[in-house]
Amino acid sequence: MKLTNLFRSILKYRKTNLSLLLVITYAIIAVLYVFDHEYYKFNLPKKDEQPEFNELLETAWTDLQTITASFHPYTSRDNDKVHDYLLSRVQEITKNASFASISDDYDSKRSILFQQQDVFNASSGISRVIYFESSNILVKLEGKNPDQEGLLLSAHFDSVPTGHGATDDGMGVTSLLANLEYHVRHKPDRTLIFNFNNNEEFGLLGASAYFDHPWSSLTKYVINLEGTGAGGKAVLFRTSDTSTAKIYQQSVRANPFGNSIYQQGFYSGYVRSETDYKVYEQNGMRGWDIAFYKPRNLYHTMKDSIQYTSKASLWHMLHTSLQLSSYVVSNSLDTEDQTPACYFDFIGQKFFVMSSKTLFYWNFIFLLISPIVVIGLYLISRDRMTWKSYSWLSWMRFPLSLLLGIVTENIFSNVVKRINPLTFSRNYFWPLSVFFTEVLLANYIVINFLNRFSPCNDMKSLTINELFIILWVTLLFTSKALYSSGYKYTGLYPLSVLFILTTAAAILRLLGSALRPKARKGHDREFMDRHSGYSSHSQIGIEEENHENTQEFQNQSVSLEDEQTSTQEDNVSTTLSRGPLHVNDDQDTDSEPPQPDERAPLLKGSSHINELSNTMEASSKPNYIDYAWIIQFLVIVPISSFILFSSVDAIMDALNQTVQEGTKATFDIIKFGMMGSILIALPILPFFYKVNYMTILLTVLIFLISTSKTLLEPPFTNNNPLKVRFSQNINLSHGDGANVHVLGREGDFLKPMLEDLPSIKHSFTPINCNTVGNGMELCTYDGMKPNLLSSNWKTDISDMLKIHVLHDSRNSTNRSPYEPIVAELLLEVKENRACTLSFNSKSQKKSPVREVTVYQSRSSTLLHTNTSKTIKSSSGIDQLQLHKLDFDQESYRIGVQWFPKILTEDNMEDDNLDTKDELFVSISCYWGEYDSDSVVNGTAVRKIPAFDELLNYAPPAFSFTNEQKGLVIVEDAVSL
């Protein structure tokens, strides 16, 4: 019997039991979280068990070391060295494979001229034309069944001027080499094409050039490998549809990692980067975008190097792509379902996929059925007189507590914005913890405070019912948004999970109430109300009240004082009143007046005992002990808490450092933190008001620690630096001053750092810092001049860019006023691979340029060139971007045709005939090499000493990246 009582005591709805279960649940979630983030590090291929995989990994790591030895943007000579290394590697791998073919765009002099919207800014209205000379390396493995639709594997080998490109995208490239080696050994069924492409960083141009290649018609599916930050695990960022998500599910059995929340981030524009996958998708291909995604403050900086990544990260991408590619090329594919997919992994062990359209239908079904079931059970309970009504004050408690939590979150968020707005960049856990504990404490304080004045029996069940109503309304609006977006809101599935589990818990309580024996009117009903405390409990564990209380008296061995102490410890209550005894035991009620221990009623005389006995004998009704709370807890809390926490963590982990990119991003992150903390708290709010004082003290301690960490810790450290963008601009129209631009987040960060530079202090150089919008600050100063060219004499900056007008028909007397105007420009640019021409007219609102021609030549004699590419646009051309490979070709020859104002606008008058139809052309040319020397008059000098100075003297809490395509931009303009 003692064992039975112990078991019953453990299962009773008591503060200690609830608190212990809550702590255990959160401890398990924490363990799963750590396991999820660390397991991949211990899952490398074993030399003895997986010799082929181990060999592929070691070779890929060596390839990565070689590729990342130097900075290799498209605008550098080291870019060609990486190209040559990759070409030699693919030749070595495929030399004995008769079914393998290699195509080198550099050797075939492949170039494209095409119109392109700004791929990094979808809202941009600038009409751009791109000229690009490609050096992609393509490898084709002819499949055993070449009639099947082929698979493309793609990664880019260029870096940015300030990054070694270990994760962006060296790991993708070396994973492609490993895949190539594997599939050469195991001939694929489908044709497999590898695209080692160039110049992704400044326009996704290598992927665009692929569609100019005849092999592009052979592929229908694509696996794109990409990266930002410094490694970690490679996530399935996005996939085309439910069919491709299921292919990933079926193929990637080891360490799957993906979440459609990231996919919605792309759809909604919160992820501000882009990958080659966008180009492939726009050209009708279906597939998978797999990428490293954090940390963004190391993305495109010098810490994107092999020192800051690991073999474990490389293996995760390599193995994921290998599993996926092997499956795709060896199996028939079911690709019927082309609706967007909702998907997520469970701690890297299991991958779940559902069509977002199917999710919408299930949401609709639950939205329709759940109210019917709940209302039906409620009516049955009312009819059987087993339902207890609640006062309006009881109904208001949970909404008021939630409202107070939201208000305190808003107050704290405003404090954060004023004191330490960039704290999320360092660690998002602390502010998220503050928001979370604020919601919990608000819930505890409001409900228990009101319970002191007006006790509410069964607050737990009432809160679950209210949470059901709130989530029903929320799911209604999110389902509408899902439908309106064309099912692209693929990150809303956690709300569906929470709603379903909450509905199950609410129905469980109502079902128990509906199945109870029908109550009799009069004394029996009064007895039920007074002895059970509430009659809406689901009842599990029935026993006779006489027997239970008799047994409790027999087992009672503590004094009155001990019982009272135990009361405070477990917060259980038994209320004794005159007349029939009101049993207000902890298992039967949620009201908490300070009363003696539940283990034995506090009886102040035998008359009370006799009164209790007489009352119980007068009724044959059983007393029902509430053990169902455990089921409700296990239904609502563990699963939904883990899914919600994982989802919020996924968002914050990917986006928290975007606070460095402007005030809008900061606002978004704070908003996500507030909403996310509420979602994480919702599953435990029906129970939290009843936790014991130790749990409350722990919650308050976490709140205080988190608040101090959030407000007082500096947002940037050596390991979590502030990312700053650099460029040195030389505008030849204003002289040859080398103006340094340093762009970063607004605040007291940039100017103090710049004022400590030796060149600034020694020359008393003024620094001008101005807000440029969206919370960003631009600081400028005159820096040391760059040394971009090697020569035997001192070179002048003006030698870097010269503009020659070869032909201009605007003022020709032979041209009709209605005839388009044509002109030719010759740009002399040394040691250069990239320039941009911008067209504008003072007399016309839009660019009047309708046609541009790029004359191609590998020789220096351009005037006799007869090879050209021309593109026309009826809507006008605002910008022409030029990308060429040959450093020895020191000129661009450009033809421009534009319409006179008389053809484009109604107002044909012009005050100044000399400037009528004048076209202004601004030219910007970019140089991206800095980590090398130039030899001037026999002396080695650094190419960009102003940038070297920043790297040498800036505090380690700063990291630097390029602001534009190059680190040095030389600008000039001409009027045609």
pLDDT on residue 154:
98
In this structure, the answer to whether residues 250 and 391 fall within a common structural domain is no
Same domain, 47 and 142: yes
Same domain? 363 vs 293: no
Strand partners, 728: 740, 968
Q: From the centroid of its chain, how far is CA 148?
A: 35
Do 365 and 473 share a domain, yes or no? Answer: yes
Rounded Cα distance between 51 and 92, Å, is 20
d(CA 902, CA 843): 11
829 within a domain of the structure (yes/no): no
Instruction: For residue 499, tell me if it sits in a domain.
Output: yes
Cα separation of 270 and 266, whole Å?
Answer: 6
DSSP strand pairing (286-294 vs 219-229): parallel
- My answer on whether 636 and 672 are in the same domain is yes
Q: Which of 309, 338, 367 is the last residue of a domain?
A: 338
| Token couple for 131 | 């000229």
The pTM of the full predicted model, rounded to 2 decimals, is 0.88
Instruction: Identify whether 815 is part of a domain.
Output: no
Last residue of a domain, one of 303, 338, 373: 338
Q: How many CA atoms lie within 13 A of 906 on its CB side?
A: 0
Same domain for 48 and 150, yes or no, is yes
What are the two backbone dihedrals, phi and then psi, of residue 559, each rounded to the nearest 5 degrees? -75, 170
Based on the structure, what is the number of domains in the chain? 2
The angle subtended at Cα 412 by Cα 406 and Cα 413, nearest 5°, is 85
- Per-residue pLDDT at 939: 86
pLDDT, tens only, 682-698: 999 999 999 999 999 99
Helix 459-484 vs helix 628-655: crossing angle, to nearest 10: 40
* Of the residues 654, 682, 712, the one at which a domain ends: 712
Per-residue pLDDT, 915: 60
**Best CA proximity match to 401, nearest among 179, 644, 681, 121:** 681
The token duo for 349 is 């062990």
Structural contact between residues 462 and 395, judged by C-beta atoms closer than 8 angstroms: yes
Domain shared by 297 and 423, yes or no: no
What is the C-alpha separation between 637 and 501, in angstroms, rounded?
A: 9
User: Could you state, in chain order, the average pLDDT of each consecutive group of 10 residues for the chain (976 residues)?
Assistant: 71 90 96 94 91 96 96 95 98 96 95 89 84 97 93 97 94 98 96 97 95 96 90 92 96 96 82 87 96 88 92 96 97 92 95 96 96 92 79 90 96 95 94 97 95 87 94 96 93 95 93 78 44 38 38 40 38 34 40 41 43 42 61 95 95 91 92 96 96 95 97 93 94 86 93 94 92 93 90 78 91 84 93 93 80 76 63 90 93 92 62 70 93 86 94 94 93 92
CB atoms within 10 A of CB 951: 16
pLDDT at 124: 79
Domain assignment present for residue 764? The answer is no
Catalytic residue IDs: 200
Q: Is position 466 within any domain?
A: yes
Range of the domain at 396: 358-512+629-712
pLDDT at site 513: 82
* CATH number for the domain harbouring residue 149: 3.40.630.10
Q: Is 215 a member of any domain?
A: yes
Indicate if 62 and 98 belong to the same structural domain: yes
Residue 209's closest CA among 223, 197, 193? 197
CB 408 within 8 A of CB 438: yes
Main-chain dihedrals φ then ψ at residue 235, nearest 5 degrees = -95, 150
* Token pair of 835 as six digits: 């320039």
Q: Are residues 74 and 164 in the same domain?
A: yes
Same structural domain, 160 and 229: yes
The answer to whether residues 436 and 649 touch, using CB atoms and an 8 Å cutoff, is: no
The rounded distance, in Å, linking the Cα atoms of 767 and 354 is 55
Calculate the alpha carbon distances from 427 to 234, 408, 433 in Å.
21, 21, 11
Amino acid (1-letter code) at residue 46: K
Q: Tell me, what's the pLDDT at 593?
A: 43
Q: What is the pLDDT of residue 699?
A: 97
Q: In what order do the strands lie in the sheet with 801-808?
A: 801-808, 821-829, 891-898, 849-856, 867-872
C-alpha gyration radius of the chain: 35
**855 has which bridge partners?**
868, 893
Neighbours of 175 (CB within 10 A): 32
What does the alpha-carbon distance between residue 268 and residue 481 come to, in Å, rounded to a whole number?
Answer: 12
Regarding whether 372 and 295 lie in a shared domain, the answer is no
What residue has token string 């453990």? 10
Q: Is the domain of 327 the same as that of 422?
A: no
Asked, for residue 406, whether it belongs to a domain, the answer is yes
What are phi and psi for residue 961, nearest 5 degrees? -140, 170
Beta partners for residue 826, in sequence order: 804, 893
My answer on whether omega of the bond before 118 falls inside 30° of 0, hence cis, is no
Per the domain annotation, does 277 fall within a domain? yes
